[in-house]
Amino acid sequence: MKGLQGKSIIVTGGGSGIGEAAALLLGEAGCKVTIADLDGGKARNVADQIVQRGGTASAVEADVSDEASVIAMVDHAISQFGGLDGACNAAGVPQRGKLLHEVDLEEWDLCHGVNLRGLFLCNKYQIKAMLAKGGAIVNIASTAAMVGFPNGAEYCASKAGVLGLTRGSAIDYATRGIRINSVMPGGTLTPMLKGAMANDPGLEPALAAVHPMNRFAQPAEIATAARWLLSDEASFTTGAAFAIDGGHTAI
Ligand SMILES: NC(=O)c1ccc[n+]([C@@H]2O[C@H](COP(=O)([O-])OP(=O)(O)OC[C@H]3O[C@@H](n4cnc5c(N)ncnc54)[C@H](O)[C@@H]3O)[C@@H](O)[C@H]2O)c1
């Protein structure tokens, strides 16, 4: 894909699910991939897979909700690969599967601390690193940013915030060579969705019913959209929110 070869790209949440699939696709495309995850072991495992396939990758343990950790993550990518050209921000935590009046403040803070505050911190320091030469950022939101999910209001709110942050910052940096877009996956078969469905027996049938394709996505079906948005083939695309959702938000 045009313009990916040799690019230094960070993937947060790159140790699992959608982030892992994005990291593997970017590695295949010739990017130098920094895989950042709260779980350093998972990040190393994905970096090893890329290197075994002949690609270039480095792993870093990072907590996206912690400012010092995010700064260290960006510094890691720059010191390993000489700069930063792009990022796919996929780190996230799921809904608690509760009605809103049952959600504790700690649960709200964890959800928003990772999904929105963490995304802000990542974008802030990634943009700083890209100001001189430009770049591209993909923020992984969710269809939950557009439509309500049962027992997940705090998650829906965090993902709606991702769209707002993406749109607002996209217009601010549009003339500075930095494109910022979001992808809204529908239900995707990752450890997160499988865990959420195991915790909330009503979730699987409720979610399946709202996907017109009558199935969930494989992580690579979401990651291909991120790969395109990071490439030069998406050179006129910024501030967009792409639903990759089997038709969910078309209903
Ligand atoms: N799976 C779905 O159905 C679905 C649908 C829509 C949106 N999403 C979003 O896609 C993104 C990826 O989710 P997934 O389904 O691949 O989940 P996943 O659980 O498989 O992967 C998420 C990764 O994020 C990491 N992570 C969690 N907290 C972190 C932190 N504080 N700092 C750094 N890393 C952290 C986890 O260790 C994990 O490796 C999330 O933002 C999620 O909200 C998922």
Q: Which residues, in sequence order, are CB contacts of 84 under 8 Å at separation 6+?
A: 8, 9, 10, 74, 77, 78, 126, 129, 130, 135
Residue pair 89/182 in contact (Cβ under 8 Å)? The answer is: no
What pLDDT was estimated at residue 203? Answer: 80
In Å, how far from its chain's centre is CA 115?
9
Q: What is the CATH T-level fold of the domain 8-241, as seen in this structure?
A: Rossmann fold (3.40.50)
Report whether pLDDT(175) > 90.
yes
CA distance 112 to 156: 10
Report whether pLDDT(1) > 80.
no
- DSSP per residue over 159-202, as a string? HHHHHHHHHHHHHHTGGGTEEEEEEEE-SB-SHHHHHHHHH-TT
CA distance 220 to 37: 18
What is the mean pLDDT of the segment spanning 125-154? 97
| Tens-digit pLDDT profile for residues 32-80 | 999 999 999 999 999 999 999 999 999 999 999 999 999 999 999 999 9
pLDDT band at 202 (very low <50, low <70, confident <90, very high): confident
pLDDT band at 180 (very low <50, low <70, confident <90, very high): very high
Cβ of 112 closer than 6 Å to ligand 1, yes or no, is no
Report whether pLDDT(239) > 90.
yes
CA torsion 244-158-135-58 (nearest 10°) is: -90
173 is known as an active-site residue: no
CA distance 35 to 168: 26
| Tens-digit pLDDT profile for residues 142-153 | 999 999 988 999
Report whether pLDDT(28) > 80.
yes
In Å, how far from its chain's centre is CA 151?
22
Residue pair 214/243 in contact (Cβ under 8 Å)? The answer is: no
The helix or strand, by DSSP H or E, that contains position 10, with its residue range, turns out to be strand 8-12
Cβ of 38 closer than 6 Å to ligand 1, yes or no, is yes
Distance 75 CA to ligand 1 centre (A): 22
Helix 17-28 with 219-230: angle, nearest 10 deg:
50
Report whether pLDDT(127) > 90.
yes
Residue pair 69/63 in contact (Cβ under 8 Å)? The answer is: yes
Cβ of 203 closer than 6 Å to ligand 1, yes or no, is no
Catalytic hit among 81, 125, 149, 155:
155
Taking Cα atoms as reference points, which of 32, 58, 56 lies closest to residue 45?
58
Compute φ and ψ for 228, nearest 5 degrees.
-65, -45
Report whether pLDDT(181) > 80.
yes
pLDDT band at 201 (very low <50, low <70, confident <90, very high): confident
CA distance 161 to 178: 20
| Tens-digit pLDDT profile for residues 83-96 | 999 999 999 999 98
What pLDDT was estimated at residue 77? Answer: 98
pLDDT band at 141 (very low <50, low <70, confident <90, very high): very high
Specify the pairing of strand 8-12 against strand 32-37. Answer: parallel
Mean pLDDT, the chain, whole residue set? 97
Report whether pLDDT(103) > 90.
yes
Cβ of 74 closer than 6 Å to ligand 1, yes or no, is no
What pLDDT was estimated at residue 228? Answer: 98
What pLDDT was estimated at residue 199? Answer: 81
pLDDT band at 154 (very low <50, low <70, confident <90, very high): very high
56 SS3 class: strand
Please name the residue whose Cα sits nearest to atom 25 of ligand 1: 13
pLDDT band at 206 (very low <50, low <70, confident <90, very high): confident
